Amino acid sequence: MSLDVLKELFQQHFHAAPTHIQPLQGELGGSGRKIIRLANDRVSAVGVLYNGREENVAFLEFSKHFRRHLLPVPEIYAQDLDHGAYLEEDLGDTSLFEFLSRNRSGDDIAPAVVDAYRKSVGVLPRFQVEAARDFDYSFCYPIASFDRQSITWDLNYCKYYFLRLAGIPFNERALETDFDRLTDFLLGAPPDYFLYRDFQSRNIMLRGGLPYFVDYQGGRKGALQYDIASLLFDAKADLPPDLRQRLLDHYLNALSTFIDLDREAFLRYYYGFVYVRIMQALGAYGYRGFFERKVHFLQSVPYALKNIRWLLHNVQLPIALPTLLGAFQSMLASEKLQSIAFEADNLVVRIFSFSFHHELPKDEAGNGGGFVFDGRGLPNPGREERFKSLTGQDPPVIDYLNQQERVHQYLASVFTLIDATVDNFQHRGFKNLMVSFGCTGGQHRSVYLAEQLAKHLRGRSGVEVGIRHLELEKLGMLHAVVGNLAK
């Protein structure tokens, strides 16, 4: 898959070439998509590169269908399925999750955020009911309905990738009995609606104060309860229980304008779907975090456990699930999961060095970037023969840069800015900060600067520091390959 395909689609649609290319965060969920903003001085669009043809077809066909129903989804400008590429409307950079994160202090959430949530849940019935009336489910991938097989996948995803990998004890046969009982119960909910499948705050974009919706390619036929449960119990959004209830009431009022709603019947199934959605999410956190070692996914686990604790104390399901609920109690008591919760209370500062000859480091925490500092205006040790084979971690290079007054002035400014941001992020409960230093080769100045900031922050209360030198990692791999060839 090539960026040139997207440039060609842009040229064909807008009759002008893109002059600005910006990679966006398209691989956070592990889907493999590359999402890229292409723009010139007049227009902007978002390009997607992905080799999953069936998923691409589902997204494109669903988008066209929703737009025929005047739903707020991105317009599709152009597509090239043979090359796994399409071009869509640019909805900006602010998701509902980001808007929430910037405008809350603990459980105190700004009225503008609550209003954005109300608008979002108010639109949901239009997807579920209005657009479902003439929806072609043959385009669904990988399955056309949230049926017994689909529910079983989600429950086993949690069992094998979270419960087992987290070391939670359970009786396999008894748990399967509970799974069967829960599945039979959920299949009693009316299933003839469009189920968005991933209706959560990161998939709702805000533009001009209005919500727009993305990432519905996993949609299928199913029950109404699943999607509203997904949004209101979205782990890292961590909505207060009273707000969840107000938004649920608002959703039900909106839904009642589309169908003859029996609220008691709806609520009978609702919390069963809440549990299934939480289990599906835990399976994803476990697979990406425990199995693939992408530890930032585990930062959502404490929030999911908080939701489970609330459910166990406040909700009585109409069916008995003793083994499953016992596993949940064991999760809450797990020392391994408690240690994750403790680590999640820290602010993680991830520091990178890189070369401007290559792309900027990617933010895998989902916050859309961070600070990028340019070290190319500082004295360059790489121009001196004695330093060419060394790096910013070696004492001769460190001594050289320590003797430069401009370097100390530069670092003083960086420390002042980062210290203020760390204080602000800790006060607001943010969990991730990314800081990148670039220079020409990514070997001397950027490495030195990254190491100095890491040294400055280490030992600070409530701060966990990680550091990566991207160019040095590449050099290390290159040296290893050359060494193996020499053997």
Give the model confidence (pLDDT) of 308-340 as tens digits. Answer: 999 999 999 999 999 999 999 999 999 888 877
Strand ranges for 106-192 from DSSP E: 108-109
Decide if pLDDT at 51 tops 70: yes
Is it true that domain 3-89 has CATH number 3.30.200.20?
Answer: yes
Q: Confirm if 448 and 392 have CB atoms less than 8 A apart.
A: yes
Q: Which of 18-22, 46-50, 104-108, 199-203 comes out lowest in average pLDDT?
A: 104-108
Tens-digit pLDDT profile for residues 140-170: 999 999 999 999 999 999 999 999 999 999 9
The three-point CA angle 187-244-336 to 5° equals: 80
Read off φ and ψ for residue 367, nearest 5 degrees: -100, 0
Rg (alpha carbons) of the chain, rounded to whole number:
25
CATH no., domain 96-343: 3.90.1200.10
Q: Confirm if 445 and 381 have CB atoms less than 8 A apart.
A: yes
pTM: 0.73
At 485 the pLDDT is: 38
CA distances from 239 to 235, 264, 275, 328 (A): 8, 23, 16, 20
Residue 55: pLDDT band (50, 70, 90) is: very high
The answer to whether domain 3-89 and domain 96-343 are alike in fold is no
Task: Give me the residue spans of the domains in the chain.
Answer: 3-89, 96-343, 347-486
Q: Confirm if 177 and 208 have CB atoms less than 8 A apart.
A: no
**CA-CA distance, 370 to 421, in Å (whole number)?**
11
Any idea what DSSP says for residue 384? S
Decide if pLDDT at 403 tops 70: yes
Q: Confirm if 111 and 124 have CB atoms less than 8 A apart.
A: no
Short-list 163, 367, 378, CA closest to 282: 163
Q: Confirm if 125 and 131 have CB atoms less than 8 A apart.
A: no
